[in-house]
Amino acid sequence: MQKRKLGNSNLEVSALGLGCMGMSFSYGPAGDKQEMISLLRAAVERGITFFDTAEVYGPFTNEELVGEALSSVRDQVVIATKFGFKLDPNGGPKWIGLDSRPGHIKQVAEGSLKRLKIDAIDLFYQHRVDPDVPIEDVAGAVKDLIQEGKVKHFGLSEAAAKTIRRAHAIQPVTAVQSEYSLWTRGPEAEVLPTLEELGIGFVPYSPLGKGFLTGKMDENTKFESTDFRSNLPRFTPEALKANQALVDLLGNIAQRKKATPAQIALAWLLAQKPWIVPIPGTTKLHRLEENIGAVSLELTPDDLREIESAASKIKVEGARYPEAIERMTGL
């Protein structure tokens, strides 16, 4: 497995990470716990060293799963988790708002450390920017945690370029995580140039378009009510049909390269910048192995130009999220 450094930091991780959310949350019923533990350990055996979770996934159950699965290989892995949501005090499964007050951040860190069975969080992201708390206060709280040895690196998720700059001035930001793929290219305008300038790594989540770019769905695909894609504008039958052109493009190149559409989508991301580390999620071993295959797939400058030229002619239909959630992103 190739390694990459997240920006100018000394944080070195596998070129591909593993997003763990779907193992317990969001994409239908949670996976079988023992199967998911086996999958996480199989990822380590195959060279993946970068694992992504959050307290809100479950809530809590995903961190507990990752903690249990990886405690025996703690010295080989980098574990990223997140703070910033206000959870239902009655223990409900839904978050009820944002909360990045410094006291709350420190409280979340303590809970995450216990659930993950670790002494320090390798990378602690603000999950979403909280409009009610100055980003300087957030960065200051994480700086305190770093000085206490409870956190090693600071990250932001779905933050705008100006926010990233303000945070970075207080506590250097190691990585920014946002949705980025061939069908979600918002970060290219301002975020990626800012990260390059400041020496910050980039971690694309949903690099396979929440499964769409694998070529395994069409307008007839049905989602269970527990699958959050059932509420996303981009996953209506009309949008799925309209966006099929993007999958066809990946499929054509995949055929030529003796690869799969998913591998082309991931290889395209890896080819954008040497400090980009995608974190596709999966609950299946064969998908994990397919994704890992993308790391050794070489896209030539001609391939990349062809993808760029064809993709620029395809208009992606449907918003990423319902409006209320979209408003919480800073892009």
Q: How far is CA 283 from CA 18, 49, 72, 151, 248, in A?
A: 10, 17, 20, 28, 25
3-state secondary structure of 265: helix
Is residue 57 part of the annotated active site? The answer reads yes
For residue 137 the two structure tokens come to 């206060």
Task: Identify whether the C-beta of residue 46 lies closer than 8 Å to the C-beta of residue 190.
Answer: no
User: Which parts of 184-291 are beta strand (E)?
Assistant: 201-205
Is residue 131 reached through a cis peptide bond, with omega within 30 degrees of 0 on the bond before it? no
Q: Which of 57, 125, 180, 205 is catalytic?
A: 57
Whether the Cβ atoms of residue 240 and residue 275 lie closer than 8 Å to each other: no
E strand residue ranges, the chain: 3-5, 12-14, 18-19, 50-52, 78-83, 85-87, 95-98, 121-126, 151-157, 173-179, 201-205
Determine whether 117 is exposed, middle or buried from the number of CB atoms within 10 Å of its CB (0-12, 13-18, 19+).
middle
CB 157, CB 177: distance < 8 Å: yes
The rounded distance, in Å, linking the Cα atoms of 171 and 166 is: 9
Q: How far apart are CA 22 and CA 319, in angstroms?
A: 21
Alpha helices by DSSP H, listed for 12-101, are: 33-45, 61-70
Q: For residue 122, what are its two tokens?
A: 């390798």
Positions marked catalytic: 57
